[in-house]
Chains A and B, each alone.
Chain A
Amino acid sequence: MGKRKDKDTQGDKKGLTRRELLLGATGFAVATGAIVHSVSAQTSNRPNLEGKELAMVIDLQRCTGCGACAIACKNENNVQDGVAWAWHETRTTGTFPNVQYEYMPTLCNHCQNAPCVRLCPTKAMHKVAGGITAHTPEKCIGCKSCIAACPYKVITPNKKEPHKFWKSDEQLFAGASDSPKEVVEKVGGDTIPLYNPDREQFLEGSGLRYKGIVEKCTFCDHRVTQGKLPYCVERCPTKARIFGDLNDPNSKVNEILSKYSAKRLREYLGTEPKVFYVREFNPATYRKSKGSV
């Protein structure tokens, strides 16, 4: 009956400061339908993504801030406790009783001009077809240059062996409950009982990561290469995430981006993020007034 450590691998989820968020939000909104720069992909093993410019639009009015996207992401990609490929920034503003709360889902922006790619000394971090910022574990030397370079803090190092909890052979009740290790042995799976084998087939390496490398969102390359939507998009209960090809003038993402003034995080850095935010988390109405002095 021992203690279980809970946050040994919280990772670097420092997130963005409020000021940074605001800078991103108030930065010059690009007329996004026009972004058609080509991507120089290093590899061409994703034939169905050739010539595509994948992007995600997050409709904040639909988003209710539930976190299902990020939980589902961990589920799909076998992500360990304390690490998140998809996350969120929240803030409460105002003073009682005039209070507002905002929730902004975050993930790798798959920047066109990705600083992580530029700074990676081994080309482990690289761009591939579809504009995906991909990562090859075998080439990763764990130098964390990408982490330092990423303005969005969406890359996480594996400082320790992931999923270590599931290697434990400690039982709560001897003979009446299982150790984590026994659960995996009995249930199946690999390292973790929830192991998703679909992930390994298209992630370069395996369905799991290991100590000494970094990891991040891949836009669910294992799914999108098969014509399936990223899992966070599929599982969002509010349909707040819309995914598609910016190079297709008729795509849903372009339709939405033509209707709303979109925001991207920290656009002023020139990273050309491929995650766009439209509408407001709270579109509240108010009684018309010119105010008072």
Chain B
Amino acid sequence: MITDKKMTRRDFVKTSAAVGAGIGLSHLFPLRAFGQDNGAEYTESGEWKPTTCQGCTSWCSVQAYVVNGRAIKIRGNPNSNVNGEATCPRSHISLQQVYDPDRVKVPMKRTNPKKGRGENPEFVPISWDEALDTIADQILSLRNGGESHKYMLMRGRYSYMRDILYDRMTKIIGSPNNISHSAICAEAEKFGPYYTEGLWDYRQYDVENTRYMLIWGADPLATNRQVSYYMSVWGDVLDRAEVAVVDPRFSVTASKADHWLPILPGADGALATAIAHVILTEGLWYREFVGDFTDGVNRFSVGREVNEDDFEERHTHGLVKWWNIELKNRTPEWAAEITGLPQEQIVQVAWGFANAAPHSMCWVGGGPVMQIRGGYLSMATHALNGLVGAVDNVGGTLAPNKEYSGGFPGPGEYMDEIAEAGVQHEKIDQRGRLEFPAMKKGKPGSAVVTNNAARGILDEDPYDIKVAIGYFNNFAFSCPGSERWERALSKIPFLVHITTNASELSWFSDIILPSGHHMYEKWGFLKSAGHGYTHVTLQQPVNDLVWDVKTDETEIPWLLAKKLEEKGFSNLMEHYREYRDPETGKIPENEQEFALFALKLATRKLWDPQQYAGGDRINGWDDFVQRGVWNSDPYPYRDRWGAMKTKTGNFEFYSETLKAALTAHANKHGTTVDRVMEVCNYQARGEQAFVPHYEEPTAPGDKTEYPFEWVEYKSRLSREGRSANCSWFHEFHDVDPGNVAWEDVATINPQDGEKLGIVSGDTIRISSPSGSIECKANMWEGIRPGTVGKSYGNGHWAYGRMAALEFGKTPRGGNNNVIIPAEYERLSGATVYYNSTNVKVEKVT
């Protein structure tokens, strides 16, 4: 029996184990001897297949270890120049997501017509045909009634296949309402870089070449972006660079840094302008980038204006104006009081940061910028990179490298009269109104104001939404003021959710369409930058599909287009038929072909040797599929010096680019920039609006009733709020400093705990003007006294049976977005998550 080679090793072990257990032979004949005695080499039973992780927006290229069509392990894709073999802890949790029993496996429809948090939808399974038929009827009914604009598409997380569903389908149906999640991501983070250096994007941080890192409200070892890469080199980075972390909470990165600056929430502008003040008065700026006084004599001294003609700038614009308008009185002494940081520490950090120029950097995360007055904080912190010449430089902050993926065919000729008229309507998120400049890339009204769509829907302003589809999103959980979304979604007469799990948003839906998992059951591609490269990495269906699920961005719109065609509206299908296989010219005949051809089309320049444009040389589609990733050429340092996409081409300390944008917005509304500042909750008046400057922090909630400041942060295991039905998320929850395994805790400084009579383990209620949540308390020295901290990701009342304490009813812990009010950084449209509210804390007895 033992030598029967037809028997698998697995069978053998099972049998032998049974025998062994019975008669104790295993001790005498160790099982492992079998394979070795027969000379049979152990080979791994699976194979490593490339795909991409979307547990955060690092978008690491990974490989899945697949055994008989079943992915069971994850590692970094060594072919990626961005993350290589490294992959962070949350990548492994994706494996628990894909086999989550609570996933929706077939379409469902609601049978309880009443909608609300307290109404059980009573979902029942239906066929894809019935689901698509119903959706098509709803869309056609809108179009036939001249109300195509009352259709809305809500996009959450996405791949770059997104435009098929998000853009093309919405436009061809005839609606302006493709509402992305971007403003609940971190648009304000792009605001500062854009209005100083013309870069509307996230930066790469050249950590391996830097000598000083000043990190503002970012926690790169835990969350966003390129976590895997930064973790992989941090141990070496610490040997070379000094690291200072500005955060009211002792973050993971603070635990691996030299200095912690536990700033008062929202006071970052005071610290940034004081550092700039020190750099100028002490003559520490980087002259090769910024320039110098014509006679080399430093005239920057406290309180004294400087003549602009005395300074000759090189690759910057408006330094002296900035000094005169804003910086001349921003002393460290002044900042110490506002920031709650010792004056000596401010001066020490300013010197350390500037002495390392130009190999020093300000790393600006969401913390200081996703705030009510965060636009200018984004500018003020990023402007320091200009002073030390870190922008686009070795050891500094870099733009993404050029990549060559393409788009899809345009919708133009498939938009009929109804569609053309429909897209002219104002968008439901009210962007572009006086109080929502939302100025992406200098263009007023161009950025989404995601969270305000709830208000648009509730107020029917500009109109009511009648049919909506959401995919890969959960605005009823992920948007601050989440209760508003519960009401808004209840109000939409026909709502469809494309999702893996029946989430909070699904609860209000009429139809749920089960989506394939982005990492294991989907064709798609993603692009991201880090380590001085951009990679374009494929998402591949590495698993055998065992459920009746479809791909959100490709297969479902195809199937819907087919239904619409059957019912007499063929424009969408005719458009999709344009997505031919670039290798054979074949027109797609089914949803699987469509998904694949669309992907091949969009990435053609990366894999087709005939269309090679740069970066890795890939030998055809099959080669690309096998590698899983394309890498750009290395970073061209300093190429953008003097050629930045600003009005002046230089790094703008006095932002002509922002001045033009704000003026355009004011003119559009027949008013002044001062008035724009006022309605957007900014204090700046006059010229101050055009320079990085300090604004007093502000947050909702009267301090007498709500004495604590709320500090939100992201867990290193939270896959954008989607980990909570996975046991590893809870079991390892304590890898976030201050957190406790299997609990949802708020951290409170022991000083405050003593005053409140609260000890670790107590159940507490945290309330803000927006709402209340309950969780456990954890007394922790790593949180600033006067503040309460808590990570995002718990508090689901749907999503699954582990995510919720009782599905549909009781949350496990508290969702931070219940207590964070819906506030905005209005210049970028970004939603406020940080310095977002004041709260009170009570013990629940």
Q: Please state if A59 and B235 are interface contacts (CB–CB under 8 Å).
A: yes
Q: Is B73 an interface residue (CB 8 A)?
A: yes
Q: A92-B780, A235-B87 are in contact. Are A180 and B92 (CB under 8 A)?
A: no
Among A10, A46, A59, the residue within 8 A (CB) of B32 is A46
Q: Please state if A193 and B70 are interface contacts (CB–CB under 8 Å).
A: yes
Q: Which residues of chain A come closer than 8 Å to B95, judged between CB atoms?
A: 75, 194
Q: Is A261 an interface residue (CB 8 A)?
A: no
Q: A99-B781, A173-B108, A176-B105 are in contact. Are A204 and B231 (CB under 8 A)?
A: no
Task: Give the distance in Å from the alpha carbon of A288 to the alpha carbon of B262 in the complex.
Answer: 22
Task: Give the distance in Å from the alpha carbon of A6 to the alpha carbon of B262 in the complex.
Answer: 35
Q: Please state if A172 and B502 are interface contacts (CB–CB under 8 Å).
A: yes
Q: Please state if A90 and B92 are interface contacts (CB–CB under 8 Å).
A: no
Q: Which residues of chain A come closer than 8 Å to B42, judged between CB atoms?
A: 201-202, 225-226
Quote the shortest CB–CB distance from B326 to chain A (angstroms): 28
Task: Give the distance in Å from the alpha carbon of A29 to the alpha carbon of B36 in the complex.
Answer: 39
In chain A, positions 166-202 with a C-beta closer than 8 Å to chain B are 171-180, 182-183, 186-189, 193-198, 200-202
Number of interface residues of A (CB under 8 A): 88
Quote the shortest CB–CB distance from B368 to chain A (angstroms): 18
Most interface-central of B67, B239, B808 (chain A CB within 10 A): B67
Q: Please state if A97 and B260 are interface contacts (CB–CB under 8 Å).
A: yes
Quote the shortest CB–CB distance from B784 to chain A (angstroms): 7
In chain B, positions 1-51 with a C-beta closer than 8 Å to chain A are 9-10, 13-14, 17, 20-21, 24, 26-27, 30-33, 35-36, 42, 44-46
B-contact bits for A116-146, CB 8 A (1 contact / 0 none): 0000000000000000000010110000000
Task: Give the distance in Å from the alpha carbon of A120 to the alpha carbon of B248 in the complex.
Answer: 50
Q: Which residues of chain A come closer than 8 Å to B93, judged between CB atoms?
A: 71
Q: Please state if A285 and B258 are interface contacts (CB–CB under 8 Å).
A: yes
B-contact bits for A1-32, CB 8 A (1 contact / 0 none): 11110110010000000000000000000000
Q: Which residues of chain A come closer than 8 Å to B89, judged between CB atoms?
A: 66-68, 71, 237
Quote the shortest CB–CB distance from A70 to chain B (angstroms): 7
Q: A1-B801, A66-B231, A194-B95 are in contact. Are A282 and B742 (CB under 8 A)?
A: no
Q: Please state if A283 and B88 are interface contacts (CB–CB under 8 Å).
A: no
Q: Is A95 an interface residue (CB 8 A)?
A: yes
Among A102, A189, A226, A282, the residue within 8 A (CB) of B70 is A189
Q: Which residues of chain B come closer than 8 Å to A204, judged between CB atoms?
A: 26, 30-32
A-contact bits for B201-239, CB 8 A (1 contact / 0 none): 000000000000000000001100000100110111011
In chain A, positions 70-104 with a C-beta closer than 8 Å to chain B are 70-72, 74-76, 81-82, 84, 88, 90, 92-97, 99-103
Task: Give the distance in Å from the alpha carbon of A286 to the alpha carbon of B352 in the complex.
Answer: 12
Q: Please state if A71 and B732 are interface contacts (CB–CB under 8 Å).
A: yes
Q: Which residues of chain B come closer than 8 Å to A97, judged between CB atoms?
A: 260, 262, 784
Q: Please state if A239 and B232 are interface contacts (CB–CB under 8 Å).
A: yes
B-contact bits for A214-225, CB 8 A (1 contact / 0 none): 000000000001
Q: Is A33 an interface residue (CB 8 A)?
A: no
Q: Which residues of chain A come closer than 8 Å to B36, judged between CB atoms?
A: 45, 47
Q: Please state if A237 and B105 are interface contacts (CB–CB under 8 Å).
A: no
Q: In chain A, what residue has the closest Cβ to B800? A: A172
Among A99, A174, A188, A202, the residue within 8 A (CB) of B250 is A99
Q: Please state if B801 and A172 are interface contacts (CB–CB under 8 Å).
A: yes
Q: Which residues of chain A come closer than 8 Å to B806, judged between CB atoms?
A: 1-3
Q: In chain B, what residue has the closest Cβ to A286? A: B258
Q: Is A206 an interface residue (CB 8 A)?
A: yes
Q: Is A205 an interface residue (CB 8 A)?
A: yes
Q: Please state if A90 and B228 are interface contacts (CB–CB under 8 Å).
A: no
Which of B599-607, B665-673, B693-701, B723-731 forms contacts with chain A?
B723-731
Q: Please state if A64 and B256 are interface contacts (CB–CB under 8 Å).
A: yes
Task: Give the distance in Å from the alpha carbon of A210 to the alpha carbon of B553 in the complex.
Answer: 43
Q: Is A37 an interface residue (CB 8 A)?
A: no
Q: In chain A, what residue has the closest Cβ to B235? A: A62
Q: Please state if A96 and B262 are interface contacts (CB–CB under 8 Å).
A: yes
Q: Please state if B732 and A194 are interface contacts (CB–CB under 8 Å).
A: no
Chain B interface size band reads: 35 or more
Q: Is A292 an interface residue (CB 8 A)?
A: no
Q: Is B257 an interface residue (CB 8 A)?
A: yes
Q: Please state if A1 and B808 are interface contacts (CB–CB under 8 Å).
A: yes
In chain B, positions 670-684 with a C-beta closer than 8 Å to chain A are none
Q: Is A284 an interface residue (CB 8 A)?
A: yes
Q: Which residues of chain B come closer than 8 Å to A282, judged between CB atoms?
A: 255-257
Q: Please state if B252 and A197 are interface contacts (CB–CB under 8 Å).
A: no
Q: In chain B, what residue has the closest Cβ to A227? A: B42
Q: Is B782 an interface residue (CB 8 A)?
A: yes
Q: In chain B, what residue has the closest Cβ to A124? A: B27
Q: Please state if A72 and B92 are interface contacts (CB–CB under 8 Å).
A: yes
Q: Please state if A283 and B45 are interface contacts (CB–CB under 8 Å).
A: no
Q: Which residues of chain B come closer than 8 Å to A234, judged between CB atoms?
A: 75
Among B44, B235, B257, the residue within 8 A (CB) of A238 is B235
Q: Please state if B13 and A200 are interface contacts (CB–CB under 8 Å).
A: yes
Q: Which residues of chain A come closer than 8 Å to B242, judged between CB atoms?
A: 285
Q: Please state if B734 and A179 are interface contacts (CB–CB under 8 Å).
A: no
Q: Which residues of chain A come closer than 8 Å to B731, judged between CB atoms?
A: 81-82, 84
Q: Which residues of chain A come closer than 8 Å to B236, judged between CB atoms?
A: 62
Q: Please state if A188 and B255 are interface contacts (CB–CB under 8 Å).
A: no
Q: Please state if B72 and A64 are interface contacts (CB–CB under 8 Å).
A: no
Q: Please state if B99 and A138 are interface contacts (CB–CB under 8 Å).
A: no
Q: Which residues of chain B come closer than 8 Å to A176, judged between CB atoms?
A: 104-108, 123-125
Q: A67-B735, A173-B125, A196-B72 are in contact. Are A186 and B250 (CB under 8 A)?
A: no
Q: Which residues of chain A come closer than 8 Å to B615, judged between CB atoms?
A: none
Q: Please state if B101 and A179 are interface contacts (CB–CB under 8 Å).
A: yes
In chain B, positions 358-405 with a C-beta closer than 8 Å to chain A are none
In chain A, positions 24-71 with a C-beta closer than 8 Å to chain B are 43, 45-47, 59, 61-68, 70-71
Q: Please state if A237 and B232 are interface contacts (CB–CB under 8 Å).
A: yes
Q: Please state if A206 and B30 are interface contacts (CB–CB under 8 Å).
A: no
Q: Please state if A2 and B26 are interface contacts (CB–CB under 8 Å).
A: no
Task: Give the distance in Å from the alpha carbon of A2 to the alpha carbon of B72 in the complex.
Answer: 27
In chain B, positions 250-282 with a C-beta closer than 8 Å to chain A are 250, 252, 254-260, 262
In chain B, positions 734-787 with a C-beta closer than 8 Å to chain A are 734-735, 737-738, 742, 749, 751, 780-785
Q: Please state if B238 and A177 are interface contacts (CB–CB under 8 Å).
A: no
Q: Is A152 an interface residue (CB 8 A)?
A: no
Task: Give the distance in Å from the alpha carbon of A186 to the alpha carbon of B101 in the complex.
Answer: 11
Q: Is B717 an interface residue (CB 8 A)?
A: yes
Q: Please state if A173 and B782 are interface contacts (CB–CB under 8 Å).
A: no
Quote the shortest CB–CB distance from A11 to chain B (angstroms): 11
Q: Is B297 an interface residue (CB 8 A)?
A: no
Task: Give the distance in Å from the alpha carbon of A68 to the alpha carbon of B222 in the complex.
Answer: 12
Among B24, B717, B781, the residue within 8 A (CB) of A96 is B781
Quote the shortest CB–CB distance from A3 to chain B (angstroms): 6
Q: Is B716 an interface residue (CB 8 A)?
A: yes
Q: Please state if B69 and A96 are interface contacts (CB–CB under 8 Å).
A: no
Task: Give the distance in Å from the alpha carbon of A263 to the alpha carbon of B420 in the complex.
Answer: 71
Q: Is B86 an interface residue (CB 8 A)?
A: yes
Q: In chain A, what residue has the closest Cβ to B236? A: A62
Q: In chain B, what residue has the closest Cβ to A283? A: B238
Task: Give the distance in Å from the alpha carbon of A217 to the alpha carbon of B452 in the complex.
Answer: 51
Interface residues of B (CB under 8 A from A): 9-10, 13-14, 17, 20-21, 24, 26-27, 30-33, 35-36, 42, 44-46, 67-70, 72-73, 75-76, 86-89, 92-93, 95-96, 99, 101-108, 123-125, 221-222, 228, 231-232, 234-236, 238-239, 242, 250, 252, 254-260, 262, 348, 502, 546-547, 716-717, 727-728, 730-732, 734-735, 737-738, 742, 749, 751, 780-785, 800-802, 805-808
* Nearest 10 interchain pairs by C-beta: A62-B235, A67-B735, A193-B99, A68-B89, A101-B255, A4-B801, A237-B86, A176-B125, A45-B30, A175-B125
Question: What are 21 A-B pairs with beta-carbon distances under 8 A?
Answer: A6-B802, A45-B30, A45-B32, A45-B33, A66-B221, A68-B88, A75-B95, A88-B735, A92-B781, A96-B751, A136-B26, A172-B807, A173-B125, A175-B125, A186-B547, A196-B73, A200-B13, A200-B14, A238-B231, A240-B235, A283-B238
Q: A62-B234, A74-B728, A238-B231 are in contact. List 8 more A-B contacts (CB 8 A).
A: A1-B806, A2-B801, A71-B728, A88-B735, A194-B99, A195-B72, A198-B45, A202-B32
